[in-house]
Amino acid sequence: MNPNIILATLIGVAIWLVTMALVGTYFFRRLQQQERLAAIARGADLAYDPIETLNRTRRSGIVCIALGIGLSMGDVIVAFVARDGQALVGQAVAVVPFAVGIGLLIDHRIGRREQGRQGAGR
């Protein structure tokens, strides 16, 4: 099979996936906004909870780190099975979610420290 056809197909699928993800995100946010407005109309309390936000940040960081480790392990397995050291180039892909996860955990730590200072300052 012609490599150009495969490349064109992969690029088309990638563009389609990104477009569908953006459309899905748009509709999800719109639904969230409608639900929020309906809750405000009912008189529900939608106060900002900094502790819940910190917990969500911590969980997201852990998930991103696990994703980075999983991608890295998968790449090592592929390189081992293929017996090709060049296959380890995919490790660069695993660094991105791992670094994002580390950043989220650092953000969580800073937020906890600031939360403690605000609590002590009152």
pLDDT digits (tens, 9 = 90+) for 10-37: 899 999 999 999 999 999 999 999 998 9
pLDDT tens-digit readout, 89-119: 878 888 999 999 999 999 999 988 888 887 7
Confidence of residue 62 (pLDDT cuts 50, 70, 90): very high
Q: Give 118's Cβ-side CA count (13 Å radius).
A: 8
Specify the pLDDT at position 34. 95
The pLDDT of 58-74, averaged and rounded, is 93
Specify the pLDDT at position 44. 83
List helix spans (H) across the chain: 3-42, 50-82, 91-121
Q: How far apart are CA 29 and CA 7, in angstroms?
A: 33
pLDDT tens-digit readout, 33-51: 999 899 889 988 877 788 8
70: nearest Cα among 104, 95, 105, 107: 95
Specify the pLDDT at position 53. 87
Backbone angles phi and psi of 53, in degrees to 5: -65, -40
